[in-house]
């Protein structure tokens, strides 16, 4: 078992190829979760229906409660506020999937 505070949790924002849809989620393994979003196309989920699997933004947390709180906060924001958050982290809105290890 890992010592308290050494876990990895991520809040992330995905988009589709045209960058018209934003999706916010939380996971404990960002690389695997990105793969799942892209490869679960047979399921009738929001991300598969709208082909939302391009990573634009992520934050790291050591505690799941903090990650969930942040995810809920971001989900409650208007799109323009989410866009400002993405712009502060990734101004060119480049797809960051390949850089995740």
Structural domain contains residue 2:
no
Structural domain contains residue 1:
no
For 34, the enclosing helix (H) or strand (E) is: helix 30-39
Q: What range defines the domain where residue 57 resides?
A: 9-99
Model confidence, pTM: 0.91
- Written as six digits, the tokens of 26 are 């939380």
Structural domain contains residue 45:
yes
Q: Residue 19: give its domain's CATH number.
A: 3.40.1440
pLDDT at site 101: 83
Nearest to 53, CA basis, from 81, 87, 30: 30
pLDDT band at 45 (very low <50, low <70, confident <90, very high): confident
Structural domain contains residue 34:
yes
70-101 confidence digits (pLDDT tens):
999 999 999 999 999 999 999 999 999 999 98
Whether 67 contacts 10, CB under 8 Å: yes
Nearest to 23, CA basis, from 8, 38, 3, 7: 38
Whether 26 contacts 10, CB under 8 Å: yes
Top pLDDT among 42 and 89 is at: 89
3-28 confidence digits (pLDDT tens):
555 689 999 999 999 999 999 999 99
**Count of domains in the chain?**
1
pLDDT at site 13: 98
Structural domain contains residue 66:
yes
């Amino acid at each position: 078992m890992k010592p308290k505070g050494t876990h990895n949790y991520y809040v992330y924002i995905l988009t589709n190829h045209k960058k018209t849809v934003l999706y916010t989620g939380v996971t404990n393994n960002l690389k695997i979760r990105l793969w799942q979003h892209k490869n679960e196309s047979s399921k009738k989920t929001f991300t598969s229906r709208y082909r939302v699997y391009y990573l634009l933004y992520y934050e790291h947390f050591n505690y799941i409660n903090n990650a969930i709180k942040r995810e809920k906060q971001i989900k409650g924001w208007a799109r323009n506020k989410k866009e400002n958050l993405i712009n502060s982290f990734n101004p060119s809105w480049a797809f960051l999937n390949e850089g995740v290890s």
